[in-house]
Chain A
Amino acid sequence: MLSFILRRLGLAFFLLFVISLISFFIVTLTPGSPYPWGEMNPKISPELKEAFRKKFHLDRPLPVQYCLMLHDLFTGKLRSMKDELPVLRKILDRLPASLRLNITAMLFSLSCGTLLGIYGARHAGHWHDLLSSFLAFLLIALPSFWISYLVVIGLVKHVGIPILGTQSYGIDFPNEFSRWLDQTWHLMLPALILSLGALAIQSRYLRASMIETLREHYILTAQAKGLSSSAIFYKHALRNSLRPLITGIGMLLPSLISGTVIIESIFAYPGMGQLGYQAVLERDYPMLVALNFIVAALVLIGNFISDLLYAVVDPRVRLE
């Protein structure tokens, strides 16, 4: 097990290096001016421009820039080009809200996705299965911004329920519980919409893996022993099909974080997605590098943990 962990750790560090390269060069190699005031602004003197270039190391060659940026990132000195606040602090400010949204969405998609997948596999080939497959593809194909707007129109215009932001403003909450309730309500809708696509993908994975498991010989054995079909299904087949679900969790995270860029801007939810969109609008290079890098690194950590879990559940993996 130890050698497995060490090998995986080495791989993770290599991947981290590649991730840092990609996130740095995708931002710096794209043509276009890095200056917040535009390339040809006549009001900016050459001295000012030079000072700006020096401050953000733009006068150095690219490899040096890369090293300096990594160094600054890890020491927390990397500053946003827009307001010169430390990038790390801006991201950490948004992290709790973002985590709350993403974890809620992940719980939704795991639980409902599992249920939908089980339902599909249980009725494989039947019209129930066709319907659940259709539903899954409908959810994958659903543009999240479209459904968000339809829901907002429906709720705000016709029902009059406030849903934007993290909590209702201008209300004095009588106690902590009602404030918590209000915040939870505000969290639910974006989380639910965010989870839809991942939910559908999860259900497809589970359905495929269950149908494959049901073809195994030990299922035949269980049938021959005379076990009831539901016992075979839920005790033997389901348990053995849950393994791909663990790796599925690692794959879910990036798609969820991608989704937050759109969802957060619609629901005015102050998370990392909105920070990213803001940085894109302002062409804030250090912010973009840091965001891409940190998010990818988070996903990498998630994958690492799911790999370890996988090895705990299935000892065969350790030998690979």
Chain B
Amino acid sequence: MEQKKDYYQDALLKNHGKSLCYHFFRNPVALIALIIVLFLALVAAAVSILSYYGIEWPMNPNETHLNARLLPPGLEHWIGTDHLGRDVFSRMLHGTSISMTVGFTAVAVSLSIGVSIGSVAGYCGGKLDQILMRSVDALLCFPTFFLILTAVALLGPSLINIIVVIGLISWTGTARLVRAEFLTLRETEYVYAARILGQRWWKLIIKHMLPNAAAVILITAILGIPEAILAEAGLSFLGFGVQPPQATWGNIIADGKNYFLDAWWLIFFPGLAILITALSFYLLGDALREVTE
């Protein structure tokens, strides 16, 4: 009996997963977005690994050529050079890994805070829930980007600080969603059953409820990545991002803004990269949400 039931459930789950995949892959927009995201992740990893072994392709992003300043896009420099004669394409490749790092790790930070606070608030309810959610409300009143800017500027801009600050400030949305999900999960029969069987509350949350909230969490994570990337780009643009000579998409634009009437490529291409990246993540997240609903 026991085995039979498991088998049945397994088959159900497999079919469920298959139908999700089927619906997901039938959506061409989602497919393209997924390919772009995977490609960007691949580029970021490849660039980091290659530069670790001292291979700089196509050029060293920090090598200056003062006789080749502000060259327009051409055969040698695919998308031109900046005011110090650095190859913008190489710099953008290196910027990819920074953006991806910031996106993924900042979301990991915000997710861990948001999920733990949301799940505890949703499961426990009562006074604790009230206090936690009112704090979330208070945090939501702040203009997020300005708060991030304030904290990063005072801490001093570095990769770690930016990641931590973005993560510490942008967990509120996740907490709200996870709490709402837990409020409904709390009333389900298997949670009652587990509670009656004497399961400890933290084990119940981690083992039984979190896996069932996985879809919501995954989607908020994917939708959080572009926000972190855009926040980092904005910080870089204002001069409080990852500091030069390390190239990021935002600080290529920030450097280029002094020459914007002469060298449009310094602004156009990095911005386009930010736009395409953020758009792909948003479309991917939205497609996933549609499929799971």
Contacts and interface: CB of A to CB of B under 8 A. Distances in A.
Interface of A: 11, 14-15, 18-19, 22-23, 26-27, 30-32, 130, 133-134, 137-138, 140-147, 149-150, 152-153, 156-157, 251, 254-255, 257-259, 261-262, 265, 273, 276-277, 280-281, 283, 288, 291-292, 295-297, 299-300, 303
Contacts of B135: 18
8 contacts: A15-B138, A19-B141, A137-B279, A142-B275, A144-B234, A145-B271, A265-B238, A273-B146
A87 to B, nearest CB: 15
A143 B233 contact: yes
Contact of B134 (A14, A277, A292): A14
A263 to B, nearest CB: 11
Contacts of A18: 134-135, 138
A292 B150 contact: yes
Nearest to B274: A143
Q: Give 8 closest A-B pairs by Cβ, nearest first.
A: A146-B271, A258-B145, A141-B278, A18-B138, A30-B154, A258-B143, A141-B279, A296-B141
A303 B134 contact: no
Contacts of B155: 30-32
The main secondary structure of chain A at its interface with chain B is: helix
B20 interface: no
Given A18-B135, A145-B237, A152-B260, A261 B145 contact: yes
A277 B148 CA distance: 12
Given A147-B271, A262-B237, 18 more contacts: A18-B135, A27-B154, A137-B282, A141-B226, A141-B282, A143-B233, A143-B274, A146-B267, A146-B272, A254-B142, A257-B143, A257-B146, A258-B144, A258-B145, A277-B149, A280-B149, A281-B153, A300-B141
Contacts of A257: 143, 146
Interface of B: 29, 134-135, 137-147, 149-151, 153-156, 226, 230, 233-234, 237-238, 240, 253, 257, 260-261, 264, 267-268, 270-272, 274-275, 278-279, 282-283, 286
A30 B149 CA distance: 13
B249 to A, nearest CB: 9
B147 A292 contact: yes
A150 B29 CA distance: 27
A23 B271 CA distance: 32
Contacts of A261: 145-146, 149, 238
Contacts of A255: 143-144
B156 A32 contact: yes
Contacts of B134: 11, 14-15, 18
A277 B238 contact: yes
Contacts of A137: 279, 282-283, 286
Contacts of B29: 130, 134
B282 A146 contact: no
Nearest to A143: B274
A44 B264 CA distance: 45
Given A262-B237, A262-B238, A143 B261 contact: no
B150 A288 contact: yes
Contact of B146 (A19, A130, A258): A258
A251 B137 CA distance: 11
Contacts of B143: 254-255, 257-258, 295-296, 299
Contacts of B154: 27, 30, 32, 283, 288
B261 A26 contact: no
Contacts of B274: 141, 143, 146
A80 B50 CA distance: 49
Given A11-B134, A259-B145, A27 B139 contact: no
Given A143-B271, A145-B237, A303 B141 contact: yes
